[in-house]
Amino acid sequence: MKKKSGERTLLASVILSSPGPIVVGLGLLLGRSSTQLVDFIRRTAELAAIIVSWVVFRYLSKNEETDINRKEKLEHTANLSVGIAMCVSGIAMIFVALFRSNSEKGNVVPGLVIALLGVVVNSLFWIRYSKLNRENPDAILSVQSKLYFAKLLVDLCVTVTLVIIVIAPSGSLTYYVDLIGSILVSVYLILNGILTILGKNKK
């Protein structure tokens, strides 16, 4: 039953993450901005990592007699994809923070709504994966909880920045909050991504 819960949660992650790259990709075709391109790459990398994790977890759940060495290799493959996604997300955030234009902000309310929804959804998945991993320790579920905590930090950073833009759209504080927040979250993402790739972030 615990394995089924983990599999269902991973499948829900895949389903809820799938529209992201599609929506951003359509916007990219219309707008072709560097920010949208970076966001598209980040979301696609995260979705690919979640899909790989779901496929591996599902396979191992249905083949419990799998040789321990093969099991560890498959888990490493799944977690490697998550580590790479974290690094890609971190690099993408730094790129956007350093090269985004500060002159034209436009209407940020839609972006704020999406970011707030991201905070809620990613919080729920982070709590869910953490709970599942505590009840039945699993390398894949453990790394997924770290991925969703990282995604939560990204959306929190975006939310804080957009709230400041709404309150004081012409203030210089926005730029520095965005820059510092993005760099801090980026460092967290990249460091955890490297640790995950090296297999030192399973607990």
Q: Would you list the domain boundaries of the chain?
A: 2-197
pLDDT > 90? residue 51: yes
pLDDT > 70? residue 186: yes
Alpha-helical runs (H) found in the chain: 2-17, 19-31, 34-62, 68-99, 109-135, 139-167, 173-197
The pLDDT of residue 34 is: 62
pLDDT > 80? residue 149: yes
Give every CB contact of residue 143 below 8 A, 6+ residues apart in sequence.
53, 78, 79, 82, 83, 196, 201, 202
Give every CB contact of residue 110 below 8 A, 6+ residues apart in sequence.
none
66: left (phi over 0), alpha (psi -120 to 50) or beta: beta
Q: What is the mean pLDDT of residues 156-163?
A: 82
pLDDT > 70? residue 141: yes
Q: Which of 57-66, 170-179, 191-200 has the lowest mean pLDDT?
A: 170-179
What are residue 108's phi and psi, to 5 degrees? -95, 0
Quote the CA–CA distance of 145 and 150 in Å, as a whole number: 9
Query: In terms of pLDDT, which residue wins out, 94 or 97?
Result: 94
The pLDDT of residue 13 is: 95
The pLDDT of residue 32 is: 58
For the domain spanning 2-197, the CATH number is 1.20.1510
The pLDDT of residue 73 is: 92
Quickly state the pLDDT bin for 126 (edges 50, 70, 90): very high
Closest CA to 158 of 17, 49, 39: 39
Q: Which two tokens stand for residue 18?
A: 């799938």
Quickly state the pLDDT bin for 50 (edges 50, 70, 90): very high
Quote the CA–CA distance of 2 and 22 in Å, as a whole number: 32
Q: What is the mean pLDDT of residues 63-68?
A: 84
81 neighbors 48 (Cβ within 8 angstroms): yes
Quickly state the pLDDT bin for 103 (edges 50, 70, 90): low
Query: In terms of pLDDT, which residue wins out, 95 or 53?
Result: 53
